[in-house]
Chain A
């Protein structure tokens, strides 16, 4: 079961090899047995899952099976789930039972997916290591002294540990792709506006995007098909036709032009990751693709630009947590100001407070032009780099992360060093482009990921390019040593 792909499970369910209730029970048992070591789930929705599984089995018997009928999945605990705690890994929302479900959750449930539970993350998705969760650090199944990446680290670790075949994630600066890379998975951040943000707890609204995490590109295609689409409840949702992702996986890559940004292969890249990426690119050339060096000249500005825009939007979004309408309220507030300031002091963790204060600074009178407006201008330069590159190439490829999974505790006390781990993923969010990460080898015992970046709404081409590589490699089917 642990190495089963979504595609395998859907085929087995359709063929009647097993029922949804049987496999759901197996995943629930695996979580109960082994998640103690990994800490990938915040909430396991056992009864709810078995109920959904039985309903899926009944629907299938009646000839009414949706695209994901009976498939057990996990949701990152940033998506609101009606009647189930939605904590965002924060003490602030430890007691929050969502009164409605996110569109992504509803879409996947309508397709027949079964929710196993809610996965751990960095608090309010702010982090690259999953060490800032109120519910404790998540451990990387490949080496439990290492981080799984973040912020969707619980989703990544759950899949890598064989506790779920797939999960949802969200990606504001790399939060799907970086943990996918560090845990040996395939993860896709769709184009901004492709998947609804309704009911997804907001971090940085102009950057946040939900996407699938699984073993293979084929799995991500199957999941994205149910997640994507226009939603009038999200004012930034884009009314663009959803392609047939799974149907377009068998593309011939002859003539595909792959751009290699020289800035992504510079000093600071772990040599073993560099070697793995180069070996994968060699496979692409064998498949008839052409690789050309390109330049994204403003790459170095992406991290500073992001650390103005994301905290500024976060400081605004997180102002809603006031101890009045929902969430944490401090004991015995002396007055209204004490209620606000102490609820927020006690309810938020250190990294969240830092980012709120940085964002407050960037938006404050006298600093707005020098920081927020400046960052928005730099954002356009970064987007323009990609627009220029895509005149020359069809997709862009490079490493997903400069280093493999780092040690737990290694970088947590040095935020700036941690932020620089996202150097290859952040620009994509600023530009709103789709990008995926897939496993292309190992650095020692730890997985190495390669990122493919596409034009707006070109998810189909990215998934097909990754799928073709996965037809010729088995990195995506490798399982962590203890979890086979």
Chain B
């Protein structure tokens, strides 16, 4: 699978990572190489095989629907880049 420059731009947008023009071509080449290696997997027939998401085929354990965590907002916000009055600050979204 060989990617085009437009594919890299689309992936970068989906992944919310800015990709500079200088690094874009090398990235396209490297990711194409990786996808080429991955494509060897397509040769095997898996028509009758169920996908495996967990190696023990375990499903998510559920707990009782009761509050089990204490409020640690201050601890968690102490390590945030910018907060005010218990809120996380980001650049203005709506004028």
* A residues in contact (CB < 8 Å) with B: 95-97, 99, 192-193, 206, 232, 235-236, 238, 298, 300-301, 303-305, 307-308, 315, 319, 322-327, 329, 333-342, 344-345, 348, 350, 353-354, 356-358, 360-361, 364, 370-371, 373-381, 383, 415-416, 419, 430-433, 456
Our pick among A192, A301, A339, A345 for the contact of B44 (Cβ within 8 Å) is A301
Residues of A within 8 A of B81 (CB): 323-324, 326-327, 329
Q: Are A324 and B37 in contact (CB under 8 A)?
A: no
Our pick among A238, A377, A415 for the contact of B58 (Cβ within 8 Å) is A238
Q: Are A358 and B91 in contact (CB under 8 A)?
A: no
Q: Are B31 and A361 in contact (CB under 8 A)?
A: yes
Q: Are B91 and A335 in contact (CB under 8 A)?
A: yes
Q: Are B41 and A308 in contact (CB under 8 A)?
A: yes
Q: Are A456 and B40 in contact (CB under 8 A)?
A: no
Our pick among B14, B44, B75 for the contact of A381 (Cβ within 8 Å) is B44
A235-B61, A377-B49 known; A416-B44 Cβ under 8 A: no
Bound: A158/B54 CA distance, A: 33
Q: Are A301 and B30 in contact (CB under 8 A)?
A: no
Q: Are B18 and A303 in contact (CB under 8 A)?
A: no
Residues of A within 8 A of B75 (CB): 99
A304-B39, A383-B55 known; A338-B46 Cβ under 8 A: no
Q: Are A206 and B16 in contact (CB under 8 A)?
A: no
Give the B interface residue count (CB, 8 A).
52
Bound: A95/B34 CA distance, A: 32
Q: Are B53 and A353 in contact (CB under 8 A)?
A: no
**Quick one: which of B3-59 are within 8 Å of A by CB?**
7-8, 11-12, 14-20, 23, 27, 30-31, 33-42, 44, 46, 49-56, 58
A340-B16, A345-B17 known; A373-B91 Cβ under 8 A: no
Closest A residue to B7 by beta carbon equals A361
Q: Are A342 and B18 in contact (CB under 8 A)?
A: yes
B67 at the interface (CB under 8 A from A): no
A238-B58, A329-B82, A360-B11 known; A345-B18 Cβ under 8 A: yes
